Every structure is written in C-alpha cells, then in structure tokens.
Amino acid sequence: MANWSKRRRLEAVIAAEKADRPPVALWRHWPGDDQSVSSMVAAHLKWQQDYDWDLLKVSPASSYSVADWGVRDRWVGHIEGTREVTYHPVQQPEDWTKLPVLDPTQGALGQHLAVLRHIGQAIGQETPFIPTIFSPLAQAKHLAGQEKMLTHLREYPDEFYRGIETITETTIRFIEAAKKMGISGIFYAVQHARYPLLSRDEFVSFGRVYDLRILGAVQDLWCNMLHVHGKDIMFDLTANYPVQFVNWHDRETTVSIARGLNRIRKAASGGVSQWTIHQEDSTNTLAEAHDALTAANGRLLLGTGCVIMVTTPTRNIRALRECVENSW
C-alpha cells in the first residue's frame, strides 16, 4: 500500500487495523546537547533525519521540569545519558508548601517550549512528535531526593499533598502551552508505580490520582504514550490509563507484550530490551523484534522498553529501523 503517512500508520496500530508496515521508533537522552535550545533542536532533528522514525519523542534532561524550583544537576558520564542531581531544594516538610505554581513560558520550562516550537516548525506535519512529561511523583523525587520524598510522603502527607498539587498544576499549564507548539501527544513517564517503593494504596493516593488529572488534560491529543518505569511494576493500576500507547520494560518484567496487550486499551510500545540492542551485534535485537511483532499482531510501535544507551552501536539501531521494511 502506497502513500502511508506516519500518522496514518500509527493510527492504524492504535485501532488494531492493518498498516503497510509496523511503525518503529527509538529514543535516547542527549547529555550536553540538552543544555541549550539550539543543540537540543539540532540533536533531535539529526536523529530524525538519520533514521526516519515514525514518532519523534523529545528527550530533555530529566531536571527540565524542576530546575525553576531550584534543582541543580550535572553530567557525570552515565551511559543512559541521565544527569546527577547535585542540589535538592526541598529539605524540610514545609518546603513542599512553599513551591510556587510556575509560569511555563519562563525559565527552563520556557526554554523547553522553545525547543518544541523549533522542532515543530522544522518537521511540520510530516512526523508526529511528543514531549516528555514526568509524573508529579517523578518530579518530587528530583526536588527532595528519593529517600526524603518517601519519608515526607508517609510522615508529612498534608505538606506533601500541597507540593504534589502545585507540581500537577504547573505540569498541566506547561502541557497547555506545549499544545500550541503542534505536539501530537505526550510521553508520560511514571516511575513510582512499582514495588517496593510504594504500596498500592500509596501509589493510588499520591500517584494515580494526579496521573489521571494530567492525562485528562491531553484527551484532545491523538498520540499519548504512558511509560511505566521499572521491573516490579503495578501494571494493573496503570494499564488502563487513557492513552494510545503503553510502554514498559516488557523484556525485564513478568508482563510480556502479549500479556500487556490483554490489559491495555489501545497499543503497546516496545518489544526489544534496551540492553539487547546495546550488544555487539544485532542478532538478538532482530530476534526480539520478530518475536514481539508476532505476539502483538499489529498492535505495536516497535522499539525498546526504555531509553537506549548513548553508546548503543549504530548498526543495531539501523538494523531495527530497517527490519520493519521487510517484515510485513
């Protein structure tokens, strides 16, 4: 079938209809490049130019959403491309109550809006693109550090709720501003729907409630993706989130692509381990890709369960991109 646009291909997968071929996309962090608007834009446009992905996921530094509250970090060479937080502004329980609702057009948030605007102007309607939005709990982790955040959540819930409310309102305001840049949806990263970090009741009260509020703000967009991070995940509490794609570490959890598709509303994203594609050659990558495409029966955006490493061999990236051209 000729003249399939990227959007048409993705919409076919979302609707469980036959497409011309499986859609495919990979994403990674951009250490160093993620510290300026121009370099971030250039890195993403080159990534898209080199591989012609069906979806471009914009991957800023994880601290972009909390830098305006005072979080500071640095690049120390992690192969995932993530940065190390060097200063957490939330030290005492009452600090949660002092967080202001941020103006998304200013500071680090405003800079990321500029990134999205330039990317949207460069790729136009040809390639769907989605910004990374971190859940309120994920942002809170950066504000206080994981251990302190969990202590405050359990010992000072009133103060912590105040902070989560502020983070949620700021996040929704940023999303509304990002819509004006032409985004197709959001990549919504949930990091705390997992044992033993939280109990089920804790995640429902401090996570799921706010996740659903944020996802409610993007129901006018057509390509929203949920990422459930980690191994021991509460898949049953997140699989029914109102999104078009669910992405998780399907090769590292007990929830395979086939099992996951029995629970989620639309389609899956993943199928290949980020560590498999990081191996020396592409043999196992292609084996996992073929297995996942067979199991998904047309309901899969082929990729990895999390970001690929910045040191992933480019021949493996090319092999995954090219395999969908011959597998349909």
What is the 3 state secondary structure string of 168-223? HHHHHHHHHHHHCCCCCCCEEEECCCECCCCCHHHHHHHHHHHHHHHHHCCCCCCC
Ramachandran region of residue 182, left (φ > 0), alpha (ψ -120 to 50) or beta? left
CA gap 214, 132 in Å, rounded? 13
Across the strands, what pairs with 225? 187, 245
Q: What is the mean pLDDT of the chain?
A: 97
Interval 41-69 mean pLDDT = 98
CA gap 238, 319 in Å, rounded? 32
The per-residue pLDDT for range 155-170, each reduced to its tens digit, is 999 999 999 999 999 9
| The dihedral formed by the CA atoms of 7, 13, 15 and 19, expressed in degrees to the nearest 10 | 80
CA gap 262, 258 in Å, rounded? 7
The secondary structure element, H or E, covering residue 120 is helix 107-123
Would the pLDDT of 124 be above 90?
A: no
CA gap 50, 53 in Å, rounded? 9
Rounded (to 5) percent helix, strand, coil in the chain: 45, 15, 40
The pLDDT value given to residue 1: 46
Backbone angles phi, psi at 167, to 5 degrees: -60, -40
Distances (CA, A) of 173 to 23, 166, 177, 272: 31, 11, 6, 34
The CATH code belonging to domain 6-326 is: 3.20.20.210
Q: 258, 255, 276: which is closest to 320 by C-alpha? A: 276
Q: Does the N-terminal peptide bond of residue 93 adopt cis geometry, omega within 30 degrees of 0?
A: no
3-state secondary structure of 87: strand
- Amino acid found at 283: T
pLDDT band at 125 (very low <50, low <70, confident <90, very high): confident
Q: 267, 178, 164: which is closest to 208 by C-alpha? A: 164
Domain ranges of the chain: 6-326
Count the neighbouring beta carbons within 10 Å of the beta carbon of residue 253: 18
The per-residue pLDDT for range 238-270, each reduced to its tens digit, is 999 999 999 999 999 999 999 999 999 999 999
Interval 27-49 mean pLDDT = 98
The pLDDT value given to residue 328: 58
Share of the chain above pLDDT 70, in %: 99
Q: Tokens for 122, please give them.
A: 């460069």
Interval 195-201 mean pLDDT = 97
Give the list of residues 6+ apart from residue 14 with CB closer than 8 angstroms, or none.
223, 244, 245, 266, 267
Q: Are 140 and 211 in contact (CB under 8 A)?
A: no
